[in-house]
Structure 1
Amino acid sequence: MSEIESRLAEVERRVRDVADREEIRELTARYCQNIALGDTEAIVALFASDGSIVTHFPGGSGQSDVVPTGTAELRETYSDLDETALKPFIHNHVIEVDGDTARGFCSVDLRLVQDGQPYTGAGHYEDAYRRVDGQWKFQRRELFVFHWGPWSKGWD
């Protein structure tokens, strides 16, 4: 391989890496957007057919022992979204791509209205991604919540 071919191959590899990372960031943003819109089918379409979601709340509260896996279970999990559903706001992505799989970490701020009272939370997602038919999908999305409480109490 000539020096020019070698450099071109390196540029192509770097461009693919940047494109993969951006596509994964877009995937996580679409997840948040579709949660806000309450679009169950669009959310489920972001997961691999055998994908899963796990949620861990502080002190073991919440449903961390339930791991919806696969299209039907994910559809059931996301089927009752309305304007009061938990809204995630993500930032601080770290993404490591390895061929057709990747791992990611992103911070999340959470907002929810429950019984007319606003709640706030914070945590992070640890994600496993898989490229399926040329598109990045969630293989596993795991939410770790380290703060959760009524907005009126702040960080108490």
Structure 2
Amino acid sequence: MDEPRKRRSKTDSLAKSRLAAIALAAVPAAGAAQAPPDKPLYVGRLDPFREKTLEQRIQELTDREEIRDLIATYAHRVAHGLSIADLFTDDGVYINRHNGAVSEARGRAALEARFHDRPGDDGSAMPMIHNILISIDGDQATDICSNELRITENGKSIIASGYYDDQLRREHGRWKFVKRDITFFHWVPLQEGWAKPAGK
């Protein structure tokens, strides 16, 4: 074998060894404790259709589309000051985390009071929700999605962004929120931009 071929062969062998080492390092040892992530981590299946029948795949697609519609309906209702209480289960809860504070609305009456009759130009949020990742398990589901927010607060234009960590349940054939838990990365007057972390 000539010298260039020997070098290429050695390089290929080293590359394969490194890839094998990376693959092994990515697999946790049996029984090893895994530290919880300090940021949201999507852990749903990235291959939700594998080993499913055609009928099951159609149901999965239908469920995903219904959940996306639920999320979009929530965003439009909030922006126009319409009630979102019926989008939640009876025991549903909304949790808001920003600037170091945590607030929640639990149950239909509290959800109705928090969001109803607050149109966007009067101080309520105008959420723009995207980057939706959904994981479905029968009649239960979870999702993580990004949120860009515009809001008027004390006469100031506020810009914010964060993420929803949702739990959902199918009840009487309809998907509903069990929990909407939003965490904001920043919540600042528009002139400050988004470099200032939430709560700083």
Q: What range describes the TM-score normalised by the shorter chain of this pair?
A: 0.7 to 0.9
The match for 2:70 is 27
User: What is the Cα deviation at residue 53 of structure 1?
Assistant: 0.3
TM-score by length of 2: 0.68
The runs of 4+ residues in structure 1 deviating greater than 2 Å are none
The match for 2:110 is 73
Measured in 2, the distance between the counterparts of 1:95 and 1:110 equals 21
Q: Provide the secondary structure at the position in 1 that maps to 2:93.
A: strand
Measured in 2, the distance between the counterparts of 1:50 and 1:139 equals 7
Residue 106 of structure 1, aligned match among 140, 145, 153: 145
**Higher RCO (C-alpha under 8 Å, 6+ residues apart):** 1
User: What is the Cα deviation at residue 79 of structure 1?
Assistant: 3.2
User: What is the Cα deviation at residue 153 of structure 1?
Assistant: 1.0
The match for 1:149 is 188
Q: Provide the secondary structure at the position in 1 that maps to 2:73.
A: helix
The match for 1:119 is 158
User: What is the Cα deviation at residue 80 of structure 1?
Assistant: 4.8
Deviations 1:66-116 (CA, angstroms, capped at 9, x unpaired): 332111111122235132211111000000000001000000001101233
Measured in 2, the distance between the counterparts of 1:31 and 1:155 equals 25
**Number of residue pairs aligned between Structure 1 and Structure 2:** 142
Residue 129 of structure 1, aligned match among 168, 182, 185: 168
How do 1:36-51 residues align onto structure 2 when only pairs under 5 Å count? 36-40=79-83, 43-51=84-92
Gaps of 5+ in 2: 1-51, 196-200
Gaps of 5+ in 1: 1-8
Which AA in structure 1 matches 2:95? V
User: What is the Cα deviation at residue 152 of structure 1?
Assistant: 0.9
Measured in 2, the distance between the counterparts of 1:130 and 1:73 equals 19
> Which structure's residues are more often strand, by fraction?
1
Find the structure with the greater CA-based Rg: 2
CA RMSD across the alignment: 1.3
The match for 2:129 is 90
Which AA in structure 1 matches 2:163? H
Measured in 1, the distance between the counterparts of 2:97 and 2:167 equals 16
Measured in 1, the distance between the counterparts of 2:59 and 2:71 equals 18
Q: Provide the secondary structure at the position in 2 that maps to 1:67.
A: strand
The match for 2:8 is none
Measured in 2, the distance between the counterparts of 1:148 and 1:67 equals 18
